[in-house]
């Protein structure tokens, strides 16, 4: 079974462009698209997973990339596979603990075969894959490590290896271009009800109740004017009107905690929007997942009305 996979190259927590394979990492530049936006494109295209190459060069950048990976695994709608500079069992354990479904080892490393055997014993072959850039990376005995891994990831130069294995094979070739910042798929949403039919307040605004599409938690309440509503539909990212700053506000543009549209619904009076979103990180500026965390009244038992 062979299928293509979209890959991104993570540098400083963002999608890196301008490189071909990991060897060009030193010359790459950081793209303008959030990795989660690429993941949304993958999901909408029907992709089964997304491959993330971690290009961290130092401990500071590594911390940023790992946090981004954690959020992708936690909030993403499709599985995440990880690859990069993997030198020991602890590197593999870190990616798996973040929530990555599989970790791919690169056999350019001199310790690759030995590490793969140790990793298979420690984590199981279902959590491991083998990344090949050239056919010369086949072990000296000519055998593929089908007992140690559950999947192969092949660069175009090594694509011929797919005919020598019964393992599922991921191919990079045709979809690599979709990973660059300028070619990420864009999804435009068209409202079934025009803005003119919305009931606005005296400032021309409509309140928006924002809900997590996965668990229905209410995350926040904000406001939209026509420009914000149209920007939200055009970009797929929640955009509001800031009443205090008197300007458009793309949620997450500063913090990285974007909200991606899953659905927009108007209430019975046409005066309130319910937005179900994929939330990256915290919705609240305090760092809480939801802005609603100050409990006022709660009943844990049977309701009783006093006489």
Say whether 269 counts as a known binding-site residue.
yes
Contacts of 147 (CB under 8 A, 6+ apart): 120, 125
42 annotated as belonging to a binding site for a ligand: no
3-state secondary structure 202-253: CCCCEEEEEEECCCCCEEEEEEECHHHHHHHHHHCECEEEECCCCEEEECCC
Contact 210, 275 (CB under 8 A): yes
Count of CB atoms within 10 A of residue 124's CB? 11
* DSSP, res 176: G
Q: How far apart are CA 158 and CA 182, in angstroms?
A: 27
29 annotated as belonging to a binding site for a ligand: no
Dihedrals φ, ψ of 135, to 5°? -65, -20
The residue to which tokens 């599985």 are assigned? 79
Q: Report the SS3 class of residue 78.
A: coil
Q: Does 267 belong to an annotated binding site? A: yes
| Residues whose CB is less than 8 angstroms from the CB of residue 290 and which lie 6 or more positions away in sequence, other chains included | 217, 218, 219, 220, 283, 284
The answer to whether 54 is annotated as binding is no
The annotation status of 100 as a binding-site residue, yes or no, is no
CA distance 112 to 83: 13
Alpha-carbon distance 77 to 39, whole Å? 8
Q: Which residues are annotated as a binding site?
A: 267-269, 271, 284, 291
Q: Which residues are annotated as a binding site for Mg(2+)?
A: 267, 269, 271
Q: Which residues are annotated as a binding site for Zn(2+)?
A: 268, 284, 291
């Amino acid at each position: 079974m062979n299928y293509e996979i979209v890959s991104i190259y993570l540098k400083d927590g963002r999608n890196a462009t301008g490189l071909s394979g990991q060897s060009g990492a030193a010359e790459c530049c950081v793209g303008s698209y959030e990795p989660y936006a690429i993941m949304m494109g993958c999901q909408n295209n029907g992709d089964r997973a997304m491959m993330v190459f971690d290009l961290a060069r130092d401990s500071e950048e590594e911390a940023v990339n790992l946090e981004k990976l954690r959020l992708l695994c936690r909030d993403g709608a499709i599985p995440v596979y990880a690859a990069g500079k993997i030198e020991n069992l602890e590197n593999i354990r870190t990616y798996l603990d973040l929530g990555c479904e599989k970790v791919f080892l690169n056999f350019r490393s001199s310790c690759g075969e030995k590490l793969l055997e140790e990793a298979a014993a420690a984590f199981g072959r279902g959590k491991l894959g083998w990344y090949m850039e050239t056919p010369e990376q086949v072990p000296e005995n000519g055998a593929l490590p089908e007992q140690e891994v559950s999947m192969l990831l092949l660069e175009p130069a090594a694509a011929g290896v797919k005919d020598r294995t019964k393992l599922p094979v991921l191919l990079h070739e045709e979809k690599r271009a979709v990973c660059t910042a300028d070619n990420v798929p864009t999804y435009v949403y068209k409202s079934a009800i025009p803005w003119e039919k919305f009931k606005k307040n005296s400032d021309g605004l409509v309140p928006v109740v924002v809900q997590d599409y996965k668990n229905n938690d209410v995350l926040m309440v904000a406001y939209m004017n026509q420009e914000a509503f149209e920007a939200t539909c055009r970009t797929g990212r929640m955009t509001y009107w800031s009443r205090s700053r008197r300007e458009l506000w793309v949620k997450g543009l500063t913090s990285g905690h974007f909200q991606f549209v899953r659905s927009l619904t108007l209430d019975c009076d046409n005066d309130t929007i319910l937005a179900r979103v994929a939330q990256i990180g915290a919705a609240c500026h305090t760092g809480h997942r939801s802005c609603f965390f100050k409990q006022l009244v709660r009943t844990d038992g049977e309701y009783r009305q006093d006489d």
